[in-house]
């Protein structure tokens, strides 16, 4: 099955002329000419960006997601390719409505007309793993109905298997393979993709994020209508807004675009550091803007989580970066075990400074994060820094946020926008406010525990005394057994001596 899938990837690449894109430079001109002659039958008249998009669509959901991520990186891609890949965010070809209706009737066990007052057979949005139809619930509420693509589990499983094989080869053949842990990264990706294919889990993610931002002035999250949800169907509140990438339309509505960009940064850091639960698929197709200027989050299949250790580590590092305290950054990497214990802090500090110092006090339009990431990768390789698979989703999301911010407001200073929020958060976690908050959180536990302390102390002393008695008895029995063993060997020795004397007497 893997070999067939690999052959399909190669054939699709050749059919759409992706080989010509890879060899489109002077150094490869001769090889490109040979391929062009060998595959003379191909029609490559369409623009290269369109051919790339069509190839990704033909290869399926995993490759579409890759294209979605690339579409937000306009600093890394030519404008024509970025514009074309942006269509993958909400213009993926839909599957037939008949299949969608058949799945709904299978789930509900009755006709769609008996479940919904109205149901639009034409989808309003189609993404890589599902598509969305509008409907009206029996009580009159307007809803969005999300339905998984047919056989999507099989396609995803085959692609993940190929990725795992490629990662294994990477670990074996590449000098940096083991340090980058590609198989662990693929396993992390596989886990999150598996979550995305379970719409009940996505509904739970949506509900949790809505609860986290219940009183937020910056973000709206749809309500889940649980009575109509299943593993392959999710029904939620219909949200009305404008895609965040339609900037001219937003300006026409009077939306403050720079303020919108700053709100996006605050939402991201709030999700990461306050909640440890963040939307990890924040490409423009999943984000709308309400007429009031609030963000609307959609598609909750891929969510990232961080534990308290990760959150504290990241917050300290971000804050140290913003304060240009590169020694603290270097030392925290060593203390966390991400860099070897014998790493020279001063050398590591100097290397980090060389990467980060040039990008401070610059707006996004003047920063090439692609080059920054490349230099960070070279630095991590030099100092043998271990890649942390649990943070891969966070890195991807941060790139999405940066790409979105670049589209909204190229003058946005990411560092200055994020620094006050992080300083406030760290103060709440570590300063005297943090101490008070922790005491409040633990108050109920202490209220239950304190009255039990005398009984717990008595039980501990009793258990300790019983343990000591048992240990003493065991030691006494062991000593007695050793004494019996010594006596037994003494008896054997005496018996052997007597037998020897008798033998000697008989011989003489």
Q: Is the pLDDT of residue 486 over 70?
A: no
Cα 30–chain centre separation: 41
Lookup result for tokens 């007695």: 480
Please tell me the distance from the alpha carbon of residue 61 to that of residue 114, in angstroms, as a whole number.
32
The contacts of residue 148 (CB under 8 Å, 6+ apart) are 103, 129, 130, 197, 199, 232, 233
Q: Is the pLDDT of residue 199 over 80?
A: yes
Q: Is the pLDDT of residue 417 over 70?
A: yes
Q: Are 287 and 298 in contact (CB under 8 A)?
A: yes
Average pLDDT for 238-252 = 92
The contacts of residue 168 (CB under 8 Å, 6+ apart) are 183
Q: Is the pLDDT of residue 503 over 50?
A: no
Angle, alpha carbons 220-223-228 (nearest 5°): 155
Q: Is the pLDDT of residue 119 over 90?
A: yes
Helices (H), 345-431: 345-356, 369-382, 392-408, 414-430
Q: Which residue has the higher pLDDT, 296 or 416?
A: 296
Q: Are 179 and 387 in contact (CB under 8 A)?
A: yes
Angle, alpha carbons 148-150-155 (nearest 5°): 100
Average pLDDT for 301-324 = 78
Which region among 117-121, 301-305, 408-412 has the lowest average model confidence (pLDDT)? 408-412
pLDDT in tens, 53-62: 888 888 777 7
Q: Where does the pLDDT of residue 365 fall: very low under 50, low under 70, confident under 90, or very high at 90 and above?
A: low
Q: Which residue has the higher pLDDT, 221 or 194?
A: 221
pLDDT in tens, 373-395: 556 666 777 788 776 655 667 77
Q: Are 300 and 205 in contact (CB under 8 A)?
A: yes
Domain ranges in the chain are 2-89, 243-447
Q: Which residue has the higher pLDDT, 466 or 81?
A: 81
pLDDT in tens, 327-341: 888 888 888 777 888
Average pLDDT for 249-253 = 94
pLDDT in tens, 91-113: 678 889 999 999 999 999 999 99
Q: What pLDDT is attached to residue 442?
A: 58
Please tell me the distance from the alpha carbon of residue 199 to that of residue 390, in angstroms, as a whole number.
22
Q: What pLDDT is attached to residue 372?
A: 64
Q: Is the pLDDT of residue 415 over 60?
A: yes
Strand ranges for 149-294 from DSSP E: 219-220, 233-237, 242-243, 277-279, 287-289
- Quick one: three-class SS letters along 283-348? CHHHEEECCCCCEEECCCCCEEECCHHHHHHHHHHHHHHHCCCHHHHHHHHHHCCCCCCCCCHHHH
pLDDT in tens, 12-49: 777 787 766 655 544 455 555 555 555 556 677 788 88
Q: What pLDDT is attached to residue 410?
A: 79
Residues catalogued as catalytic: 281
Cα 290–chain centre separation: 27
The kind and range of the H/E element at 173 are helix 152-173
Q: Where does the pLDDT of residue 431 fall: very low under 50, low under 70, confident under 90, or very high at 90 and above?
A: low
Mean pLDDT of the chain: 76
Q: Is the pLDDT of residue 262 over 50?
A: yes
Cα 28–chain centre separation: 37
Q: 242: how many CB neighbours lie within 10 A of its CB?
A: 17
Which region among 75-89, 114-128, 254-268 has the lowest average model confidence (pLDDT)? 75-89
């Amino acid at each position: 099955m893997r070999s067939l899938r690999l052959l399909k990837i190669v054939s699709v690449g050749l059919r759409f002329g992706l080989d010509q894109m890879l060899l489109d430079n002077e150094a490869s001109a001769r090889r490109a000419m040979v391929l062009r002659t060998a595959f003379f039958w191909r029609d490559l008249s369409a623009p290269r960006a369109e051919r790339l998009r069509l190839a990704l669509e033909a290869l399926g959901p995993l490759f579409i997601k890759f294209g979605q991520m690339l579409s937000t990186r306009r600093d890394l891609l030519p404008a024509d390719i970025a514009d074309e890949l942006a269509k993958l965010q909400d213009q993926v070809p839909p599957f037939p409505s008949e299949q969608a209706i058949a799945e709904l009737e299978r789930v509900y066990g009755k006709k769609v007309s008996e479940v919904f007052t109205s149901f639009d057979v034409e989808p309003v949005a189609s993404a890589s793993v599902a598509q969305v139809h509008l409907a009206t619930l029996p009580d009159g509420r307007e809803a969005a109905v999300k339905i998984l693509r047919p056989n999507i589990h099989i396609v995803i499983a085959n692609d993940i298997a190929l990725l795992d094989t490629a990662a294994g080869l990477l670990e074996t053949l590449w000098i940096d393979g083991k340090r980058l842990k590609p198989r662990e990264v693929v396993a992390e990706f596989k886990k999150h993709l598996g979550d995305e294919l379970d719409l009940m889990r996505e509904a739970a993610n949506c509900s949790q994020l809505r609860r986290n931002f219940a009183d937020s002035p910056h973000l709206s999250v749809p309500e889940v209508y649980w009575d109509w949800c299943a593993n392959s169907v999710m029904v939620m509140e219909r949200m009305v807004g404008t895609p965040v990438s339609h900037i001219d339309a937003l300006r026409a509505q009077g939306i403050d675009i720079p303020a919108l960009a700053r709100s996006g940064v605050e939402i991201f850091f709030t999700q990461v550091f306050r909640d440890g639960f963040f939307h990890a698929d924040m490409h423009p197709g999943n984000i709308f803007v309400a007429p009031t200027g609030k963000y609307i989050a959609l598609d909750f299949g891929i969510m990232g989580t961080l534990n308290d250790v990760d959150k504290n580590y990241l917050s300290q590092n971000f804050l140290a970066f913003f304060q240009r305290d590169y020694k603290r950054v270097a030392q925290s990497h060593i203390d966390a075990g991400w860099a070897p214990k014998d790493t020279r802090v001063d050398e590591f500090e100097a290397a980090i400074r060389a990467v980060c110092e040039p990008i401070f006090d610059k707006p996004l339009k003047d920063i090439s994060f692609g080059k920054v990431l490349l230099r960070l990768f070279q630095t991590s390789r030099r100092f043998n820094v271990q890649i942390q698979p649990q943070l891969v989703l966070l890195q991807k999301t941060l790139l999405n946020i940066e790409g979105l911010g670049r589209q909204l407001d190229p003058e946005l200073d990411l560092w200055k926008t994020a620094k006050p929020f992080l300083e406030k958060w760290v103060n709440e976690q570590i300063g005297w406010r943090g101490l008070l908050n922790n005491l409040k959180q633990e108050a109920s536990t202490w209220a239950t525990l304190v009255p039990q302390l005398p009984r717990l102390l008595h039980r501990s002393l009793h258990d300790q005394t019983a343990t000591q008695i048992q240990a003493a008895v065991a030691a006494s029995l062991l000593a007695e057994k050793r004494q019996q063993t010594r006596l037994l060997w003494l008896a054997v020795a005496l018996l052997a001596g007597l037998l020897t004397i008798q033998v000697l007497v008989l011989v003489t």
